[in-house]
Chains A and B, each alone.
Chain A
Amino acid sequence: MNKQKVYNTIHYVLLIVLALATLLPVLWVVLSSFKPQSELFRVPLTFLPQKWTVQNYVSSLQAGNFPVYFSNTVFVAVVSTFITVMVNLMAGYALAKYIFKGRNLIFTIMIATLMIPLQVIMIPIFLQLKNFGMLNSLWGIIIPPAATPTGVFLARQYLVNLPDSLIEAARIDGAKEYSIFFRIILPMSKPIVATIAIFSFMWRWNDYLWPLIVITDNKKQTIQQALANFVGQLQINWSDLLAMTTIAIIPVIIVFLAFQRFFFSGIAAGSVKG
């Protein structure tokens, strides 16, 4: 029994040390963002701010376009998430509950495209967006990555397990196909809708490469782009930058805390990204 106790203690100590190594960097950034500019690099450094201030938040929110970047990002993340969920759920439904020619072929092609990372085709995508006049438009960020193979895969996986009898019964009652989808399937798909929505939101909020390709106009940029530009300057105003970084982190932490169980089940289900 004593041996067990020793093991447990080691186990906990190990976990705590590793957890600290994981969290301290984030805490250090967040706490530093509440230090006055004069204190940020003043020796001796202290973990907690000696004088707490929100001045950095005030100045970064007032400076330049930060509120614009923030609302651009909210718009992109929310609208993309809605479109992603609808487009993928409909496709997943078609693949799960209808039999038609080419069904397997379509599914196979979609899954195969999982292997093509955006980084590999960013040049032709840029040209394609240029052809469609979607450069420098938030829709250029929103639409192209809305159809995700993982989204279709997860939706199909979930919907296959719904009983066919529900759909049959509705058909016998004379329901139209689209109303079966919206009235019966959609309400029954809440867990998978939540999973797809959460991962889509997180990915869109954090994404940098799409906006980088699509947007050059300063007023259309997203938060991640703004942060990258800010850190690219010769003289970095770290106080403001840390405040902006913290603002960019808060939404994802909130979503995570609110929907934790969907995160872990979602990752386990499809090893999802986006």
Chain B
Amino acid sequence: MNIITAKDLCLWYDTLQALKNIDVEIPEKTITALIGPSGCGKSTFLKTLNRMNDLIPGVKITGSVCYQGKEIYAPGVDVSELRRQIGMVFQKPNPFPMSVYDNVAYGPRTHGITSRVKLNEIVERSLRNAVIWDEVKDRLRKNALGLSGGQQQRLCIARALAVEPQVLLMDEPTSALDPISTSKIEELVTSLKEKYTIVIVTHNMQQAVRISDQTAFFLLGELIEYGNTEQMFSKPKEKRTEGYITGRFG
């Protein structure tokens, strides 16, 4: 079943068209990788899925994005509720300048959970799911900015998981991390597939091959090719896809 469907999606930053007639269907509980050279629109596309582009002045969007069969750009849509269900992890780890515990508890508290017992349970479960519990269980009250970059990013994933989203959008989550932290995050992402649908932007083609089920290749705001990852990397249908994945440009 497809959890997200984008149809004929176009996006302009003022007069610059950043996305051109994108059609993508994302199946539930899979990992979809978005690849392409810098400025090709892959991050922009990712941010249309939880309406984070709304925050940029001068953005105009046409076409349709459906989440669980409902148009997310329809008037009257509760954007906060949408973003609760479609979580996001950013390129640069961005924990709040508060304790590890408060970081994870931020989302649930915002959505009205005040019971100490319940919060403790959510924090522990989220940190365990993000495979960082053992590293931080003794320093839950310490400032999260004291963690290493890789730990901060897993903390951000735990924070996103704490509001029980259905979909997790990840915008180059490993580009600021060292190889060991990167492989930890990759393992984590693969394990999260059981419960969540994941859409991940990546510059690293090996990463796309290692973790994703399907891949979308963007170039200059167009979706060039979209399909099964193995097939795309072994037998790309498009010349331009082949050129990019074999490293001839990009």
**A and B are interacting partners:** no
